[in-house]
Amino acid sequence: MASLIEFIQSRWDNLLEAALVHATYIVSVVVVAIVIGVGSGILVRNKPLAREIVLGVFAVFLTIPSLGLFVMLVPIVGLGFWAPFVALCMYALLPIARNTVAGLAGVDPAVVESARGMGLTNRERLFRIQLPLAWPVILTGVRVAALLTAGIAAIATLVNGGGLGDFIKSGLARLGAPNSAESMWVGTLAIIVLALAFDAVFIVIKKATTSAGIR
């Protein structure tokens, strides 16, 4: 335990830098996955066939082993940030798109019907009624996507993508050498802490953005 604290103190700057890269993955991936995932969820919500195809494709993405996917992307986008970024976006799509579809489907049809009867246009119904009511469910999907990204981003280091995985990789490479176990532990624990921090942020966001009427 003492050696762990010592290790953290000696590598504090490196640790912060790696955590920042890791957080960058999470934020950028979640933003892109929200745009694509929520967007496609909205587009296919009333089309059963398209919905099954889109969600099916996103599900297939999630089954591709991450290491393989990262390596497959390297020839296309090169080493560094972009290969893990694209792969992580592909993984994050399913929870967000699936929850968007489920959230929209869960809106009481009578509410949508009365909105239509009062003369709200398709767009007004979507943005003022359906999305706000589906929002808590969508946000839960986003939260799952963020946690998923935090975990899988640890492998970004294998294609020189940086992040907290660097600590795990360096420990693994020097297994048995001084500080190797500490390095792996710190990398792993830091990812968990980061994930919990994001989770806490989502709880706050959910509170702040969900109407008191549906809490």
Partner 1 sequence: MTETLIKLDDVTKTYPGTDVPAVANLNLEINRGEILVLVGPSGCGKSTTLRLINRMIEPSSGRIMFDGDDVTHVNADELRRRMGYVIQQIGLFPHRTIAENISTVPKLLGWDKQRTAERVDELLETVGMEPGIYRDRYPKELSGGQAQRVGVARALGADPEVLLMDEPFGAIDPITRDRLQNEFLRLQDELKKTIVFVTHDIDEAIKMGDRIAILREQSVIAQHDTPEAILAGPADKFVEDFLGSGATLKGLNLLRASEVELDDVTTVRAPTSRHEVMQAIEAASSPWILYLDESGAPKRWLDRRSLDEVNSIDQAGKEVRVTVEPEDTLRDALEKMLQSAVGTACVVDPTGAYRGVVRVETLVEIIDRLQREEQARQEAR
Query: Measured from the CB atom, is 2 or 110 closer to partner 1?
Result: 110
Sign of the alpha-carbon dihedral angle for 74, 77, 83, 86: negative
- Candidates 55, 133, 137, 190; binder of partner 1 (CB under 8 A) is 133
Query: In whole angstroms, how close is the CB of 43 to partner 1 at the nearest point?
Result: 21
HSE-up of residue 132 (Cα within 13 Å, Cβ side): 16
- The torsion defined by the Cα of 70, 71, 76 and 79, in degrees rounded to 10, comes to 80
What CA–CA distance (Å, rounded) separates 48 from 130?
Answer: 18
For residue 181, state whether it binds partner 1 (rule: CB under 8 A): no
For residue 121, state whether it binds partner 1 (rule: CB under 8 A): yes
- Candidates 6, 52, 108, 199; binder of partner 1 (CB under 8 A) is 108
Tokens 């809106």 — which residue? 107
According to DSSP, residue 126 is labeled I
Q: Name the one range near partner 1 by CB under 8 A: 17-25, 84-92, 96-104, 115-123.
A: 115-123
For residue 211, state whether it binds partner 1 (rule: CB under 8 A): yes
For residue 15, state whether it binds partner 1 (rule: CB under 8 A): no
190 touches 171 (CB < 8 A): no
Query: In whole angstroms, how close is the CB of 111 to partner 1 at the nearest point?
Result: 5
- Candidates 116, 147, 158, 179; binder of partner 1 (CB under 8 A) is 116
